[in-house]
Structure 1
Amino acid sequence: MAKDFAKSFYNSSAWKKCRGSYVETKQGLCERCREPGNIVHHIEYLTPYNINNPDVTLNHENLELLCATCHQHEHYLRNSPTVEGVMFDEQGNLIKRDAPPF
C-alpha cells in the first residue's frame, strides 16, 4: 500500500501513463523471474523529498516490473533482520539454505 505522501502521485495521470508504457516495454513479465509482473517498482525508493522529482518518479531507468513474490522479496526480505541464505538446523546451528527460486 502506498504511503500517505505518495498516494496522490500514484493516482496521477502522469504515473498511470508512465506505468502503462513501462509495463508494455517489458511485455508484462517480471524482470527477475520472468513470471507475469503486475507491480512497477521504483529502484530508488520514493521519499517525501524526491516524490516531486520526475527524474526519480517517472524515469523508466528507475523502474522495474516485478511479480508480487519478487516485490515482496525486495521490500520485506531485503529489510528483514534475518540473513537470507541461512537457517538453523535441528541442533540450533547456523547452516546454509538452498538458494531461493528467484
Structure 2
Amino acid sequence: MAQEWARGFYNSKAWEKCRLAFLQSKFFICERCGGAATIAHHKTRLTPENIHDPNITLNWDNLEALCQDCHNKEHSAKLPVAEGLMFDENGDLVKENRL
C-alpha cells in the first residue's frame, strides 16, 4: 500500500494513464520472469522530495513492468534483516550460510 504522502499521486489520472500505457507497451509481460505484469515499478523509489517530479514519477525510463512476485522480491531484497539471516533467490527469509 502506498505511503500517505504518495496516495494522491497513485490515485491521479496522470499516473493511471502513464501506468496503463507503459504496461501495454510491455504487453503486460514481467521484465524479470516473463509472467503477467500488473505493476509499473519505479526503479528510483518515490520519496516525499521527488513525488512531484514528473521526470521521476512519469518517466518510462524509470519504470519496469513487474508481476506481483517479482515486485515483492524487489522490495523484500532491500529490507534490513537480523544478523545471520538473509533473503534467498525466492525472497524467502533463510539462515545465512557462512563457510
Q: Which range, TM-score by smaller chain?
A: 0.7 to 0.9
Aligned counterpart for 2:86 among listed residues 80, 83, 86: 83
**Where does structure 2 lack aligned partners over 5 or more consecutive residues?**
none
SS of alignment partner, residue 64 of structure 1: strand
Q: Percent of pairs identical after alignment?
A: 41
Indicate yes or no: 2:45 matched with 1:42: no
May I ask how many residue pairs the two structures share in their alignment?
92
Distance in 1, Cα, partners of 2:71 & 2:41: 7
Which 4+ runs in 1 deviate beyond 6 A?
A: none
Match of 1:99 in 2: none
Q: Who wins on radius of gyration, i.e. which is larger?
A: 1
Tell me the CA shift for residue 83 of structure 1.
Answer: 3.0
Tell me the CA shift for residue 80 of structure 1.
Answer: 4.1
SS of alignment partner, residue 86 of structure 2: coil
What is the letter of the counterpart of residue 57 of structure 2?
A: T
What is the letter of the counterpart of residue 7 of structure 2?
A: K
**Where does structure 1 lack aligned partners over 5 or more consecutive residues?**
97-102
Match of 2:97 in 1: 94
What is the letter of the counterpart of residue 20 of structure 1?
A: L
TM-score normalised by length of structure 2? 0.83
What is the RMSD computed on CA atoms of the aligned residues?
2.1
Distance in 2, Cα, partners of 1:36 & 1:53: 28
TM-score normalised by length of structure 1? 0.81
